[in-house]
Structure formats: structure tokens, C-alpha cells
Structure 1
Amino acid sequence: MTEAQDRIDACLIGELTAPVDPAIHALVAHILDGRRPLAVLFYGSGLRQFDAEGLFDFYIVLRSLSDWPASTLARVANHVLPPNVFYAEHDIGGRRLRAKIAVITLSQFRAGASPRSQDTSLWARFCQPVRLVWVRDAEAADSILELVRQCVVTASGWAARLGEGSLPAAEWWQNLFARTYKAELRVERAGRGTTIMHGQETRYAALLQPAWALGGLESIETTGSVLTPRLGQGQRLRARERWDRMARRGRWRNIARLIKAAFTFKDGAAYLAWKIERHNGFRLALTPFEARHPLICLPVLLWRARRVFIGGMRG
């Protein structure tokens, strides 16, 4: 184990094992209902700030898709375009808590964390702070640590290749998150990518240089913790050309995921409308018929929300 890996793991283990509100553990227990996946990861805005009125985000990691109850069609959909997403709500301590749950296999997670991945969505999420709120055993915990570490290394590598010049560590990350939000079809308002670092600048700064080192990137540190990765212009040019291709495909991929979520979710059309209004301010205003029959009404719903989607496609 290298010094760089030691430094990264010390940070990530502390985050993965940090306590969360007991209501989160109770919610996860209801979601699992006695099932034993490899792990459950808690991430996102609900982790950054507990909000009982919001939506808590979880990833359930499986050894195989057959380890989680689903129809054959749903498993095929998860194999073709992971992850499958569903909704759950339970009354915990007199409050109704709501969750968005993504289901993915360990091998799918590994592919999404890799620097060879053509999809930004997994490593961009799990280079951020995350909690391991349920784990089957020590072997599964080690696997999750390995994959979260890889997400940090992959993200840091893209930060170096998409950035320019010499910058403080936090700015390399800020530029990256601005890019990842543009590379996906996101319904959030512009600037959302810069808010996820709020209060965590020191954490990201501490991870950047060891993550570069673990990924094989040399760097120079100068006065004021300004960092310069050793990259040639040819390397940057090739990386940016690849990124542009990934971004174009990624927006279409996320359109497909949003549409898929509208049907894998119970009340999926209502979820889609809530998601758009919460983050973009646009009210989709579903009729009762549209809420009950999202497939029949899909062309109308997409047309009504076209400005949001076109804005996302343009980045």
C-alpha cells in the first residue's frame, strides 16, 4: 500500500463509517426488509443536510441482479442501462421519510468507477462524501472502499485533464463538478455543481494530490497550495475530445434514465414532476390521468418540459 493510498483511505474510511441520523438506519432497515445485499450507500443532498421533507438517496450494491426482487424486464433494463431506480417511503418516528434507491451490481459499480468508463454519473457522485449505512461483511466493506477510492482517483484525473494551468486544489474540483453537471442532462439550476463542495473544501483539497499520485499523475505544489499537474498539451487535447464525446452521449443516456425512472418508480411521473420543480422551478402540473398513465402521456409530458430538457442538452 502506497503513502498516497494510505492518505486517501484514512479520509474515506472516516467518512464511510461516520454516524448518521438513527432515522436513516431505520429507513434502510425498512427498505431492505430482511434482504442482505452487499452494501447500502447513502449520499447526496440528504447526507449534506438532513431534511425530513426531502428525498434521501441510496445505492444498493448487489453481487448479482438476481439477489434483489424484480421482474425479468426490470432486470434486463438494469443490465442494459444501470442502475434501476425505485421509490420507497416509510413512517419513522412519526415522520414520513422518502427515499430514492438505485440498484446496481458490484461489477457495474466497478465499471462505472473506472477511468475507462464512458459514463460520468457514478464516479462523479461517489468521489463526494458517502456513508456506508449497511454492509454484509468485512469483505464487502473492503470492496466498497476500493471502489469509492477508485471514484476519487478517476474524478481527480479528469479534473487535471479538463483544467488548465496552476490552481488551488479546491478550484480543480469546482471546475470538474461544473463540467460533470454539463455532461449530464440535469434538471438542476445552473451553478448547482459549485454548491456540493460548500463546507468541504478542505476535504477535497486534501484528496487531490494523493489521488493524482495514485492515478500516476505527477504534480508540483507551489506557494498557497497551488497545484500544477504534469500534463502535455497533447494529453489534454485528447482528453477533452474524449470528454466532448462522453458529454454528448451522457445527456442522451440521462434522458433515457429519466424516462426509465418514470416507469420503474411507483408514481414515477409524479416523481419526475417533483424532481424538475424542486431543482429547476418549472412546474409540470400533471393531470390525474397523466399521473396514472405516464407511458400513454409521455410525448405530451416531454413536450411540456421541453425547455428544461433542451437547456440540459445545451449544458
Structure 2
Amino acid sequence: MSAPPPSLLLREHVVGDDVRRMAQDIADRHGDTVAAILFYGSCLRDESGAGILDFYVLVDDYRAFHGHPGAALANALVPPSVGFVPGGQSRFLGAKVAVIARTQFTGRLTRDALDTTLWARFCQPVALAYCRDHECAAWVERTLSRAAATAMDWAIRLGPVEGRAEDFWTALFRHTYAAELRVEGGGRAGQIYGFAPREFDDAFARLSPPEVEALADGRYRVHLDESERRHAQARWRRRRVTGKALNVLRLCKALFTFDGGVDYIVGKLERHSGQTIELRPWQRRHPLLAAPGMVWSLYRRGVIR
């Protein structure tokens, strides 16, 4: 089932032929263990360019996908594993491919997950570039609804007491960005909302729990006890510490498991920060040993936050 109908997508988005072909090629190379491939990011927002696609590949079994027990173990311990697929005949340069098991993906979309990365990413617009069958498509739709519900739950606990949907979403994304090692500047939260304001406004209205009162002027008021807000903030502080640590682990793993990972990571940091990053020869030869010092240096320079 390579071309699911738009009604099964979290966002009503028709995936272009180049995107669909690249996703199908990934599925064909790895067989039936690939349940679905999610397409998100800048190229989803504008497929007219020739950049790098962002795919999340949801699999049933790591060993079946990777073929090597070491790679499967690394992915199971610190998911996802990230690779790069060249664009070939496509107009795109290629695709950044993150691979994660369905069970681990689902577990990281809940309110209790310490890792905020996945639900924060997939409460945003996303399309289904490939799906194995209708059963998997229904599972994707149910699973992504968890990401939206989790995002909404945190948005009303970390956001303002009163405001518009935009105020709640941008406050949430400022918190989630602060829980990761990010290159983008402080205005990114507003940009994320600005990419799909109608979708975010509709989601806020549709998912609002009883604690949220809709006012007449398009604003919302949240009725929560102050003690509940303080408890949520304490829980979030733990996620912020955990998130930074997980990002460092994933960065270190990518230096080994991602072919050309050093150059890809450096290129991305330079594009987003506007700063030049020079690596010494020994840092290229021993990326794991160099990683802690490099991360600290980049943090002090403001390249990552």
C-alpha cells in the first residue's frame, strides 16, 4: 500500500511522486518489517525545492531492518538510528532517515514519556509517504493522535493562563526546544506555529479538555490549580535535563552509525547558525572521543542551545 488516501493523513497533504518513490525504495530494500514511513519537516511544507527530505521509518523489528545485530542493538538502546539515502534520479538531494521500532515510537508519545522529542515533532503536520497496508494506516492515525493529545496536555500546563491558541502552541514549542540541543534561534517556536496556523488552531479547539474554557473573543482560559501548575513545571524540568542528555547520546551514536555523519552534522550546524565550524584531523579520526569537547565548545559559542 504505497499511496494511502489523503483521509488517512494527519494533514490533508498529497505526497509528491519523488517523495513517494524514495519512500517506496526504502520499504522495498528492507521488506515487510517496514510498517510505515512518515514525511515531515521543511520539504513537506514546500516540496518545490531540492533539499533533504525528512523521513521517520517505523519498523516491526530492528534486526530484520538492519541485518546486523550490533546496529540493531544500538538502535534499541538509543533510538532512533539515523542514516542518509541519496536522492538518485530525484530532484531532492536525498533523505535523512530515522528508524525506530513501532513499540518504542508509541511509548515516546505518551504524557509520561521522559523523551519529549517525538511527540513534539509529530503533533506538527506530517504526511504518510508509505504504508504497508490499511491496518498500519489506521495504527498510524491512532498513534499520532496520542502525540497531539500529549502536546495539548503539556500546552495547557506550561502555557499562559489565558490567551489564543497561538500563545499556547508557541509557549509549548519554546519549552520543547529548550529540552533539546537545538541550533535554531529563539523565534523558531513562532515559526513552527506560522507554518500551519489553521491546523494548530483547529487542533487546539478540537482537543481542548474540560479545564479549558473557550471565551467569546477567540481566546481561551485554563482553569488549573496553582499546585497542579507547579507540579507540571517540576515534571518538565526532569524532561529538560533528560532531553539534553539523550540528544548528546544520539549525537555521539550518529557519528558512528550515520555514514558521513560528521560532515552532515557539521553542515547542518553551519547552515542554521551561520558560523563556520573547523574540525581538526584527530577529531575526524576519533569522533567519539572528541564529541564531549565539541558539544561543550559549540554550546559556549551559542551554536547549539
In the superposition, the TM-score normalised over structure 1's length comes to: 0.87
Deviation per CA, 1:115-169, whole angstroms, max 9, x where unpaired? 1101110000000000011001111111110111000000011000001211111
Structure 1 partner of 2:3 = none
Judged with a 3 Å threshold, the aligned counterparts in structure 2 of structure 1 residues 288 and 56 are, in CA distance, closer, same or farther, namely farther
* SS of residue paired to 1:164: coil
After superposition, the C-alpha distances for 1:239-279 in whole angstroms (9 at most, x for unaligned) are 00110111012111111111211211111110110111121
Q: Is the 8 A contact 1:55 1:98 kept in 2?
A: yes
- Aligned: 1:23 with 2:18: yes
- Contact 1:184/1:251 (<8 A) preserved: yes
1:79 aligns with 2:72: no
**Count of matched residue pairs:** 298
The yes-or-no answer on 1:130 pairing with 2:126 is yes
Inter-CA distance 70–52: structure 2 relative to 1 (3 Å threshold): farther
Q: Which residue of 2 aligns with 1:203?
A: 199
Kindly tell me: are residues 172 and 304 of structure 1, through their superposed partners in 2, closer, same or farther at Cα, counting changes over 3 Å?
Answer: closer
What residue ranges of structure 1 are gaps of 5+ in the alignment?
1-10
Question: Does residue 44 of structure 1 match 2:10?
Answer: no
Alignment correspondent of 1:8:
none
Alignment match of 1:91 (pick from 84, 88, 91)? 88
**Which residue type is aligned with residue 27 of structure 2?**
L
Secondary structure of the 1:133 match is strand
Report the counterpart of residue 3 of structure 1 in structure 2.
Answer: none
Q: Say if 2:250 is the partner of 1:257.
A: yes
Change (3 A) 1:51 1:284: farther
* Contact 2:10/2:144 (8 A) holds in 1: no
- In the alignment, what sits opposite 2:96? 100
Aligned partner of 1:275 in structure 2 is 268
Q: Give the drift of 1:82.
A: 1.0
Offset at 1:96? 5.1
1:61 alignment partner AA: L
Aligned residue for 2:65? 68
Does 2:228 correspond to 1:231? no
In the alignment, structure 1 residue 59 sits paired with structure 2 residue 56: yes
Percent of pairs with identical residues: 34
What's the C-alpha RMSD, in Å, of the aligned pairs?
A: 2.3
Rounded Cα–Cα distance in structure 2 between residues aligned with 1:80 and 1:180: 22
Structure 1 CA distance, aligned partners of 2:105 and 2:272? 26
TM-score by length of structure 2 reads 0.89
Cα distance in structure 2, aligned partners of 1:264 and 1:220: 48
| Deviation, structure 1 residue 223 | 1.9
2 CA distance for matches of 1:244 and 1:308? 24
Structure 2 counterpart SS, 1:225: coil
Report which stretch shifted further, 69-78 or 146-155: 69-78
Identify which of 138, 147, 151 aligns with 2:147. Answer: 151
Query: Would the alpha carbon gap of residues 308 and 76 (structure 1) be closer, same or farther in structure 2, given more than 3 Å must change?
Result: farther
Q: Which moved more, 1:123-132 or 1:22-31?
A: 22-31
Between stretches 129-138 and 51-60, larger displacement belongs to 51-60
Range 71-80 or range 249-258, more displaced:
71-80
Task: Describe the shift of the 1:291–1:55 C-alpha distance in structure 2 as closer, same or farther (beyond 3 A).
Answer: farther
The answer to whether 1:171 aligns with 2:167 is: yes
Letter in 2 for 1:241: A
Residues in 2 aligned to 1:39 and 1:307: alpha-carbon distance in whole angstroms: 39
Letter in 1 for 2:17: P
